[in-house]
Amino acid sequence: MKERRKHERLEDRNRTQITVLSAPKAHDLEYRSFSCFTGDVSQGGVSLCVPHPVPVGAKLEMVVSSSKPRRRAWHVGRVVWVRKHDGNATHLLGVRFMSSPEQAIETWQEMLREKFAFAAKKGAG
């Protein structure tokens, strides 16, 4: 199967706070906020492990808090896929970034450079 992703992904767990800005197929979720974790990160988006199913097409505001390096990044993105996670009560969401302020993009790119460099160093050692 051909890989459709534009950006390299890194498996990485970061505490994330999301707010559902719009969910045309689940209006009851709109403006709800909850904590979750990233499963992986890339320049163009993240996968999230969430406690509630969020439908494809939902628009999310996300604040990703990284401990290594210690940074916080703010993004707005759209859910592009949803999967049940490990048969338990959590769900995996694929979220593509839509729009973010220039400073947020710069912070995210710097954070990813550091994370990828650390992962490469760890893998080589």
Q: What is the pLDDT of residues 36-90, one digit of tens each?
A: 999 999 989 999 999 888 999 999 999 999 887 788 889 999 999 999 866 666 8
Which pLDDT value is given to residue 80?
Answer: 96
Asked if the model's pLDDT at residue 107 lies above 70, the reply is yes
Which pLDDT value is given to residue 88?
Answer: 67
* Residue 1, domain member (yes or no): no
* Residue 47, domain member (yes or no): yes
The tally of domains found in the chain comes to 1
Using CA atoms, how far apart are residues 118 and 110, in angstroms rounded to an integer? Answer: 12
Q: Give this prediction's pTM.
A: 0.84
Closest CA to 48 of 60, 104, 8, 5: 60
Q: Kindly report, residue by residue over 92-105, the tens digit of the pLDDT.
A: 999 999 977 788 88
Q: What is the dihedral of CA 69, 76, 80, 85, to 10 degrees?
A: 50
* Residue 3, domain member (yes or no): no
Residue 51: what residue type?
P
Q: Specify the CATH number for the domain of residue 67.
A: 2.40.10.220
* Residue 73, domain member (yes or no): yes
**Residue range of the domain that includes 113:** 10-124
* Residue 33, domain member (yes or no): yes
Closest CA to 75 of 40, 100, 53, 110: 100
